Amino acid sequence: MTTPTLLLIHGLGATNGVWADVLAELDWPSQVINVELPGHGAAAPSDDYTVGAMAAQVASTCANGEEVIAVGHSLGGAVALCLASGFFRPVVAAAVGLGIKLAWSDADVEGMAKVAAKGARWFETRDEAVERFLLQAGLRGVGPNHPAVANAVIEVDGQWRVTQDPNTFAQRPVDPAGLVGAANCPVILGAGQNDAMVSFDDMVAHVPNPRIATGAGHNVQVDDPTWVVSLIHEVANL
């Protein structure tokens, strides 16, 4: 039996480098596709940052009919669940959503729109831009030389900014019931125990037996890569 391709999808504000610690521990016997979402890192910007549009862009990195296990974090988790609908190029054998924000208030939506409207901030030094990136991505405990930082900032005419397109922040609430209900494969939700974005109760309302990483925060793939590796292998054996 051929092992499916592993498709890794980072979250809002991050880069594909957030999976570096997972990949360092993961002995995957097949192909790994570690994408960058549109408007993030080295990926080109887009005029459509909806979950569906991002899913279509991510799907374009896979071959037609390619079997994949889609593992996404936060916004990337919502993209993974969207891919599980079967409306896109790859055949998703299982979808894992880590740290997806499932419950949104009007204030959450308004706050995201305000951040998007502020546009990019420019800095005199790379260190200042990196600090801003780590704050936006919720990675303040990560050092400036972590692989997540590699594609995160750019210099233009002697000034520095985060590469992320600010328009990516203008996200709308996901429809977790719709995404899970439309999935044509097993869906697993998980999060860090201390993830302020999502709770066990939020997840168990949509899937049985959500997974919790003890002591981890929102970026569980950075906080506890061993836990994530174990979960990926568990899912591969479903």
Q: Which two tokens stand for residue 226?
A: 């061993």
Question: Which domain-ending residue is among 125, 149, 167?
Answer: 167
Residue type, 15: T
pLDDT band of residue 174 (cuts 50, 70, 90) is: confident
- Sequence-distant (6+) residues with CB within 8 A of 17 are 41, 146, 147, 148, 149, 150, 151, 152
Question: Is the model's pLDDT at 130 over the cut of 90?
Answer: yes
Are 203 and 102 in contact by the 8 Å Cβ rule? The answer is: yes
Half-sphere exposure of 27 (CA within 13 A, CB side): 0
pLDDT of residue 1: 65
- The number of CA neighbours under 13 Å toward the Cβ of 9 is 36
For residue 2, what pLDDT band results from cuts at 50, 70 and 90?
A: confident
Say how many domains are in the chain.
Answer: 2
- 91 and 185 housed in the same domain: yes
Residue ending a domain, choose from 116, 143, 167: 167
Is 130 found in the same domain as 89? no
pLDDT in tens, 67-118: 999 999 999 999 999 999 989 989 999 999 999 999 999 999 999 999 999 9
69 and 110 housed in the same domain: no
- Give the residue-averaged pLDDT of 37-41: 96
Residues 138 and 39 in one domain: no
Q: How far apart are CA 176 and CA 182, in angstroms?
A: 10
What's the domain range around 193?
Answer: 5-104+173-236
Q: Any idea which residue has 């999808």 for tokens?
A: 9
pLDDT of 238 reads 64
Within this chain, do residues 42 and 83 fall inside the same structural domain, yes or no? yes
Distance separating alpha carbons of residues 174 and 76, to the nearest angstrom: 12
Q: Are residues 83 and 187 in the same domain?
A: yes
Q: Look up the pTM and report it.
A: 0.96
Q: 134-169 pLDDT, tens per residue?
A: 999 999 788 889 999 999 999 999 999 999 999 999
Last residue of a domain, one of 167, 182, 210: 167
